[in-house]
Amino acid sequence: MIKSIVATGRTEDDAIANALRQLGKSRDDVSVMVLERAKSGFFGFGASPAKIKVTWEEPDPEPVAPPKPVTPPRPAAPPKPATPPRPATPPRPEEPPKPAPRPAPAAKPAAPKPAPEHERKPAVPATEEDVDKVKTFLSGLFERMGVEAQADATVDPETGTVCVELSGERVGALIGRRGETLDAIQHLTNYVINSGSDERTRVNIDAENYRAKRADALTGLAQKTAARVVRYRRNQTLEPMNAYERHVIHTALQDYPGVTTYSTGTEPNRRVVVAFDSASAPRDSYQPRRDERPRRDDRRDSRPPRRDRSGYSSRPSYPSAQPPAPEKPPVDKTVKEWS
């Protein structure tokens, strides 16, 4: 087993002597390694002693076997008691006959699922009382929102819907981004007017003719998207929209040749997909893919040549495919002698 100690001294020799004095060994029994040499410093400043490491080897101690544990003797097992004789078992009484199984009761018909609210409540034409309720609710709502706006409500004689037109200085705050605030106000108004009633009254809220402008913008977007789908024959997915805006897209493209529309996703991220319909697509709408288009070398001769300022073309001329000119008859170059 190898052991070592670290010793210091004014010089390396003093450090070795200190280590040998501590160990009681001679110089031949140890090996010395100098860790730091002594520094005298400058006028005593910065001086440091020498530092050495002394290593020696000692024999390993013999391992001592641990004493074996003494196991106490086991106590003798007590004698088993004699088992008494079993009494004779009396004969079992005869079992009564089992009753016939009862017929299973007929399964009750499943109760029909309740229909959605818009199907349970039939729509009815609005009355003047409904108009007053709408005005009262909207005036209180605008007061709590801190918005000065007026609600002009009338009843559409054809559909029986309460049509509300909002006006005021800050009506834009009631419209919100893409009409989200206006849709929320309309949803709350419909809920308040139809709560606790067996019939349903439709309420349509608009501000600064936003509904018509948004419908026109969505119709234009649908037409442009459908044209790209037919041209490139690739489906395109529009941005998330509410139910009214998706209805506008479906209505605008229901008769468009070459496309079909459907909705995908869940609210509020439900989108409209404008898909290509090869069955109804016109034949002249096909656009070749990149790998089917002519190569650059094939289109080289069809491009007009570039000309520099001097008026001469910078493109090298290629041999034309015109038929060769007819050969001229050979000319007799012999000199005739004068007779």
Walk me through the domains of the chain, giving residue ranges and CATH numbers. 2-57 (no CATH), 119-208 (3.30.300.20), 212-285 (3.30.1370.50)
For the stretch 280-295, pLDDT in tens is 877 765 555 555 455 5
Q: Which residue has the higher pLDDT, 244 or 104?
A: 244
Summarize the confidence of residues 84-97 as an average pLDDT. 64
Distance CA 212, CA 134 (A): 22
Return d(Cα 122, Cα 199) in angstroms, integer: 5
Mean of pLDDT over the chain:
77
In this predicted structure, the answer to whether residue 101 has a pLDDT above a threshold of 50 is yes
Question: How far is the C-alpha of 194 from the C-alpha of 126, rounded, in Å?
Answer: 11
pLDDT digits (tens, 9 = 90+) for 182-214: 888 888 998 988 888 788 888 988 988 888 899
Element (H, E) at 237: strand 236-237
Confidence (pLDDT) at 116:
46
pLDDT of the residue at 65 = 67
| Coil/strand/helix, residue 63 | coil
* Per-residue pLDDT at 253: 93
Residue 117 has what pLDDT? 45
Please tell me the pTM assigned to this model.
0.46
Residue 54 pLDDT > 70: yes
Residue 92, pLDDT score: 67
**First-last CA distance in the chain:** 139
pLDDT number for residue 90: 63
Give the model's pLDDT for residue 76: 66
Sign of the C-alpha dihedral computed for residues 291, 296, 298 and 304 taken in this order: positive
